[in-house]
Structure 1
Amino acid sequence: MKKYLYILILSFIFYGCSINNQIDKTQMFILKNDEISSNIFFKKTNKILKIKNAYLPLYLNSKSIIYTKNNISNTYAYHFWADLPSNFYKSFLLSKLEKTKIFKTVISSQSSLNADYVLESRIDSFEQIIDLKQNYTQITVSVNLIDVKKNEIIAHQFFNCKENINQNNISNIYQSFEKNLNSLTKDIILWINSNID
């Protein structure tokens, strides 16, 4: 009987040690917004711009970091975005536009204020692409700049931004997404600047 008691006690000890040694490998990544160059000439208006929430396919409405390898989509098991890609996109635009001072104010779609312009976006891709020859992040966005008072589209543009990944590790993948999103949102702001009165 004592023998079984010792075995039972040792089993509990080993089981307890194995629980304590389990490591949570989950990592959440926050994309950081870069400054926009102060050397660029931005028009100044007395207008209000409203940035609407971006439309996106269901598979992108997730915090998963998506990659496509040999045309098959998958997600990283332990690495996630800290927020939805569409929220990072909107946050980058709001912050950069505020700093340019093109508009009197820039508001999000939740604001009850009326705006002079509306920016509508559709995110078509926000993923890593891996094939035999290339490894890169790709963000594609379709954007409409709308004059609210005239109820017409001032300009439409499709942006397709790619950023190479030198080594396929999570740190380089994250840096590629961050650089890509900063480049994309800068391009959109320059495009807005060139299309307003």
Structure 2
Amino acid sequence: MAEDDPFQIATIDELRIHYDAPNPLILRSKLDFLHDHMLHYMKLAPIVCIASDTPSGLDASPRGGEPGFIKPLDRKTLAFADWPGNNKMETFSNVIESGRVGMLFMAPQLDVFMRINGAAIVTRDPAVLDRLIEQGKTPKAAVKVSVEEAYFHCGKAFRRSGLWKPETWPDTSGFPSVGKVLSDMAKITEMSVEQLDAFYNHGLEHELY
């Protein structure tokens, strides 16, 4: 931290002074394999956030697709594909370095998350890639995850945010276009805002897979 915080909680023991112990029933629902209910949830989830790390830093990245795009290979293993993006390859690079990921699944209208943590590798195994084909296209590579922890997480964040209730959504009409954001933040002068918007929108429309 840039400066010391006199109110910092610096130890787990100190943290626990302020919070109750978790309910034992909740702890019993943390598994090291994919239960039937988890496989069902996975089929409903069109978006997942992937957390990864290396000694030099952390990363969190979204992955999306048709519901069920994350594929269980068996009760202990799942896989997800790499599709066209910004080519920074942050998640895949982190997996190669650290060999671990955390995954947060979300399924529309369900007030519960699913979380999976485990060891991970980047693979070009043809048998795995064939399972991940979308719109007739085979991914260049995939991440294969060995499940170490799998559990459902309370959906209070959904309730607090109103994410599944359009009537609670804020008015976003005043937020600038992606082209404007990129132009301002990266100080891009070689392309106009309109050109940047066209470039971005072309990727959204024509380069998903």
TM-score with structure 2 length normalisation? 0.20
Specify which structure has the bigger relative contact order, considering alpha-carbon pairs within 8 angstroms and separated by 6 or more residues.
Answer: 1
Greater strand share, structure number = 1
TM-score with structure 1 length normalisation? 0.21
Largest Rg, 1 or 2: 1
